Amino acid sequence: MTENAECRQCQDWIDDAFSGELAAELRPKLQAHLDSCPECRAVWQDTQTLQRGMALLAESDGPSLKSQTAILRAAEARAEKGQAKRAGLWSWLFRPATVAFATLALVAGLSILGRQELQKKKAAEQQVTSPVLAPQGTTTIEAAPMGGMTAPATLPQTSGNREGTAKAKKSEVDTKTAPKPQQAEQAPVKTDEERRKIPVDQAIEAAPSTLGVLKDSDTARPAPAPMKALAKPVPPPPPASDPLAPASVQAPSIPEAEKGAGGSPQKEAPNLQQQEKKQENFQPPGGDALGAVNSVSGGKSLERAATEDKAKEPTDRFQSLLNSAKLKIRQQKYPAALEDLLAAQRIRDNKEIQDLILLCRSHLRGDG
Amino acid sequence: MNRPNPASPRDDELIAAYLKGQTEAFGVLFQRYKNGIFFVVRNYFHNRERAEEVFQEVFLKLLERLDHFDGSGSFRGWFFTLCRNHCIDRLRQQARRHETPDSQWRHEDDDSQATPIARAANEAMPADERAYDRELAAHLEEAIQKLPDEQRETFLLKERGGLTFEEIAQMMGVSINTVKSRMRYALESLRRGLRHKPFVKEALR
């Protein structure tokens, strides 16, 4: 091979090396030629510069974070949609609204059935107790479907002829518990006192027979379940103190209002800490007399200040974690950034945190 | 282009996992292709905002059509074809609407165009090295821009997209030899373009 032909061959190998397609066995040959030929070595160096330039372009001209998160969000949404589609009927069946409706229907059904059973029982009991109250000359046959088992068809006047108050009371209770208005209508004539009572009793009994369904279903209705599912937007209040929050994060936990009021954060922070300490002294955990006095007098404002301050702590901790995570993302320290983000998410979850977590995870799992 | 690590899951495995509901699988796929796709899109749309828009559209289209990928060919080839076709469609629409052509790519302000990550990494470098890199990147952009369309597209698909010559040939409807020669011409032009720049000579000293 002439020198020119060798150089042409070498430049092909250089191009292949740039494209990542140079066979391993050709590398020593390429190296040997580069060692002996300054012209090809210059081409090789130019190619390396080109490679470096391409890497720089890739670094400096990637898609924006906004685009990346938008795409990853869309991918998540699509995955969720796909899952819902696959789940098909099952997902429909287990939707909160469907579950709530089914539960409601079941409870209402059971309540009606139960009521019917109860009515039957009461009707039977009514048959047993009514003869005692039946006026003279009247029959209880109509009101006694279980004829053979009831008392004699005609009963003597029972006014003032009761067998003691206990029995009378029992009848009263019986009539009260009799559920059906029709049974009350069919109930035999009672004593004067009972006559006066009957309408009221009947009214009481009659009312639940209709209202009872509602009442039962009202009490048994599992309304909170669907409501909870739908009423998602109410976030849980931030925890009063975050176990992850180090004590050193106290300083930035100055309420925004105070910051805005012109007080310097450095000066205000110790005051609040002092207030907290005072509060601790005033109000022992058990809550004794001093604590009570405290809550009524000036201690109240201290307590409020301390509570507000504690409530602000997670917010500041959250913000500092978020800022730290953003910095780490810029420095491409994704594992450390992810840790901060997860800690921040424990304090408060929002779209920004989710996006950043998604970004870090995709960086960590991806090849890049 | 980030070439997949042999130990990492294959594209078709990631797609299958994603279609079964594993969102993270798509994240891996996205990291694998985002830069290559973005570069190809930037080849067509020099205006960064427009390029970002089309970049998102390409991935949304991918999400829509992922079900249609039958796994018979390479996913990379299929995806870059989808990307290329989408870019061409958008350019045609733009031409029909008589919109102003995209501005020259990335020359307004390098810093404002770079990603925050790249900016942060840039800030950590010594000033002279940074200046050299900026200059190198700018000259290379210019040199790429000056390439004939076929050569530029071939070069970007190969270098940024990581496609094989065969995949590029299929996508562009030409023979492999044509693709290879376009690539060689492109490399020669770029090398020549960089060789005559003073900063390169200085760096090689």
Question: With an 8 Å Cβ cutoff, are B137 and A18 in contact?
Answer: no
In this model, does residue A18 exceed pLDDT 80? yes
Same-domain pairing of B62 and B143: no
Same-domain pairing of B91 and B153: no
- Judge contact between A131 and A155, C-beta under 8 A: yes
Question: With an 8 Å Cβ cutoff, are A366 and B2 in contact?
Answer: yes
> Of the ranges A175-189, A264-278, B155-169, which is most confident?
B155-169
- Judge contact between A161 and A131, C-beta under 8 A: no
Give the confidence band of A348 by pLDDT, cuts at 50, 70, 90. confident
Q: Which residues pair with A139 in a beta bridge?
A: A154
- Judge contact between B41 and B87, C-beta under 8 A: yes
As a whole number, mean pLDDT of residues A245-258 equals 38
Reduce the secondary structure of A31-81 to three states and give it as a string: HHHHHHCHHHHHHHHHHHHHHHHHHHHHHHCCCCHHHHHHHHHHHHHHHHH
The answer to whether position B4 is within a domain reads: yes
CA distances from B15 to A183, A278, B21, B113 (A): 71, 61, 10, 32
Asked if the C-beta of B104 comes within 8 angstroms of chain A's C-beta atoms, the answer is: no
For A61, nearest residue in chain B (alpha carbons):
B114
Q: For position B132, what pLDDT does the model report?
A: 77
| Dihedral angle computed from the Cα positions of residues A105, A110, A115 and A121, in that order, rounded to the nearest 10 degrees | 160
Q: For position B154, what pLDDT does the model report?
A: 93
Q: For position A80, what pLDDT does the model report?
A: 80
The answer to whether position B113 is within a domain reads: no
Q: Which domain holds residue B169?
A: 127-205
- Judge contact between B66 and B18, C-beta under 8 A: yes
As a whole number, mean pLDDT of residues A280-287 equals 40
Q: Please give the DSSP secondary-structure letter assigned to residue A20.
A: T
In this model, does residue A225 exceed pLDDT 60? no
The three-state secondary structure class of A139 is: strand
Mutate to test the interface with B, among A40, A43, A44, A46 (most CBs of B within 10 A): A46
Q: For position A113, what pLDDT does the model report?
A: 77
- Rounded to 5 degrees, φ, ψ at B108 are -65, -60
Distance from CA of B113 to the nearest CA of A (A): 7
In this model, does residue A212 exceed pLDDT 80? no
Q: Which of B23, B27, B118 sits opposite A60 (nearest CB)?
A: B118
In this model, does residue A304 exceed pLDDT 50? yes
The answer to whether position B11 is within a domain reads: yes
More confident residue, A296 or B146: B146
More confident residue, A187 or A323: A323
- Judge contact between A73 and A355, C-beta under 8 A: yes
For B192, nearest residue in chain A (alpha carbons):
A46
Alpha carbon distance A156, A148 (integer Å): 19
> How many CB pairs below 8 Å do chains A and B form together?
163
Distance from CA of B80 to the nearest CA of A (A): 16
**Cβ atoms < 10 Å from Cβ of A284:** 10
Q: For position A111, what pLDDT does the model report?
A: 78
Q: In this predicted complex, what is the ipTM?
A: 0.73
CA A130 to chain centre: 55
What sign has the CA pseudo-torsion A130, A132, A138, A141?
A: positive
Q: What's the token pair of residue A168?
A: 């009378």
Give the confidence band of A19 by pLDDT, cuts at 50, 70, 90. confident
CA distances from A271 to A250, A263, A307 (A): 11, 11, 14
Sheet strands (E) in chain A: none
Which residue positions in chain B have pLDDT lower than 70? 1-7, 98-129, 196-205
| pLDDT tens for each residue of A99-147 | 677 777 777 777 777 777 778 777 777 665 554 444 444 433 343 334 3
> Of the ranges A67-81, A232-246, A261-275, A280-294, which is most confident?
A67-81
Q: What's the token pair of residue B57?
A: 């559209």
CA distances from A158 to A121, A141, A192, A194 (A): 25, 18, 11, 12
The residues, any chain, with a CB within 8 Å of residue A112's CB and separated by 6 or more, are A213
Using only C-alpha atoms, what is the Rg of chain B? 18
Alpha carbon distance B42, B54 (integer Å): 9
Alpha carbon distance A59, A175 (integer Å): 89
**Lowest mean pLDDT: which of A5-14, A82-91, A100-109?**
A82-91
Mutate to test the interface with B, among A57, A329, A334, A354 (most CBs of B within 10 A): A57
Question: With an 8 Å Cβ cutoff, are B21 and A83 in contact?
Answer: yes
Q: Which of B21, B42, B184 sits opposite A79 (nearest CB)?
A: B21
More confident residue, A11 or A133: A11
The three-state secondary structure class of A154 is: strand
Alpha carbon distance A56, B134 (integer Å): 8
The answer to whether position B51 is within a domain reads: yes
Question: Is A85 buried (19+), middle (13-18) or exposed (0-12) by CB count in 10 A?
Answer: exposed
Same-domain pairing of B73 and B135: no
Distance from CA of B201 to the nearest CA of A (A): 10
Question: With an 8 Å Cβ cutoff, are A366 and B32 in contact?
Answer: yes
Same-domain pairing of B4 and B87: yes
- Amino acid identity, residue B169? A
Asked if the C-beta of A9 comes within 8 angstroms of chain B's C-beta atoms, the answer is: no
Query: Residue B133 maps to which CATH number?
Result: 1.10.10.10
The answer to whether position B82 is within a domain reads: yes
Same-domain pairing of B12 and B88: yes
In 3-state terms chain A splits into helix, strand, coil percentages (rounded to 5) of 75, 0, 25
The three-state secondary structure class of A350 is: coil
Asked if the C-beta of A62 comes within 8 angstroms of chain B's C-beta atoms, the answer is: yes
Alpha carbon distance A178, A305 (integer Å): 60
Same-domain pairing of B86 and B185: no
Chain A residues with CB under 8 Å of B23 CB are 75-76, 79
Same-domain pairing of B65 and B12: yes
For chain A, how far is it from start to end, CA to CA, in angstroms?
43
In this model, does residue A73 exceed pLDDT 60? yes
Query: Residue B95 maps to which CATH number?
Result: 1.10.1740.10
As for how many domains chain B has, the answer is: 2
Q: Which of A53, A78, A366 sits opposite B28 (nearest CB)?
A: A366
Runs of H (alpha helix) within B66-175: 75-96, 110-113, 116-123, 127-146, 149-159, 165-172
The answer to whether position B7 is within a domain reads: yes
| pLDDT tens for each residue of A229-240 | 333 444 444 444
The answer to whether position B112 is within a domain reads: no
Same-domain pairing of B28 and B77: yes
The answer to whether position B157 is within a domain reads: yes
Same-domain pairing of B98 and B134: no
Question: With an 8 Å Cβ cutoff, are A332 and B195 in contact?
Answer: no
Q: Which of A15, A66, A78 sits opposite B187 (nearest CB)?
A: A15
The residues, any chain, with a CB within 8 Å of residue A298's CB and separated by 6 or more, are none
Same-domain pairing of B101 and B2: yes
Q: Any long-range contacts for B170-175 (C-beta under 8 Å, 24+ apart)?
A: B170/B77, B170/B81, B171/B77, B171/B80, B171/B81, B171/B84
Q: Looking at chain A from residue 315 to 354, which residues have their Cβ under 8 Å from any Cβ of chain B?
A: 329-332
Same-domain pairing of B49 and B140: no
Same-domain pairing of B201 and B136: yes
Q: What's the token pair of residue A132?
A: 């005692």
- Judge contact between A103 and A97, C-beta under 8 A: no
Question: With an 8 Å Cβ cutoff, are A79 and B4 in contact?
Answer: no
Alpha carbon distance A339, A14 (integer Å): 44
Q: For position A331, what pLDDT does the model report?
A: 77
